[in-house]
């Protein structure tokens, strides 16, 4: 894999994991789609992948400052990383009632 494609890949994986969390973490169901520990694992995985994507994008942008798309995708990875961090803390502390399986 080329080094320039990793931020795009990280953002794509982050979006997919966010959609999985959105679908599986809704509280309208009587039975959960995924167990609570799996939701926590998905949020942690999304946090680390998007954080690495943001770091890689910033590093690549500092090397070649004329590529503004790297800065934009790095910002998207930072926002997703913060969202995954917040969701992980929420799932861990039990602030969101996850239906018991």
3-state SS track over 10-55: HHHHHHHHHHHHHHHCCCCCCCCCCCHHHHHHHHHHHHHHHHHHHH
Residue 98 inside a domain? The answer is no
Look at residue 101 and tell me if it is in a domain.
Answer: no
Who contacts 17 (Cβ-Cβ below 8 Å, separation ≥6)? 42, 43, 45, 46, 49, 84
Residues of the chain with pLDDT under 70: 1, 25-32, 95-101
Q: What is the pLDDT of residue 42?
A: 94
Whether 99 is covered by a domain: the verdict is no
Residue 84 maps to a domain? yes
What integer pLDDT is reported at residue 30 of this predicted model?
66
**Residue pointed to by tokens 């910002």:** 75
The pLDDT of residue 19 is 93
| pLDDT (0 to 100) of residue 101 | 53
pLDDT at 22: 86
> In terms of residue numbers, what domain contains 8?
3-93
Whether residue 100 lies inside any domain: the answer is no
pLDDT of residue 91: 81
User: Could you give the CA distance from residue 69 to residue 46 in angstroms, rounded to a whole number?
Assistant: 21
- Quote the number of domains for the chain: 1
């Amino acid at each position: 894999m080329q080094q320039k494609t990793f931020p795009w890949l990280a953002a794509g994986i982050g979006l997919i994991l966010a959609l999985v969390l959105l679908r599986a973490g809704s509280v309208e169901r009587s039975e959960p789609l995924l167990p609570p520990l799996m939701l926590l694992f998905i949020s942690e995985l999304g946090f680390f992948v998007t954080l690495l994507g943001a770091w890689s994008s910033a590093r690549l942008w500092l090397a070649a400052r004329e590529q503004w798309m790297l800065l934009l995708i790095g910002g998207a990875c930072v926002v997703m990383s913060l969202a995954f961090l917040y969701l992980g803390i929420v799932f861990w502390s039990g602030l969101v009632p996850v239906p018991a399986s």
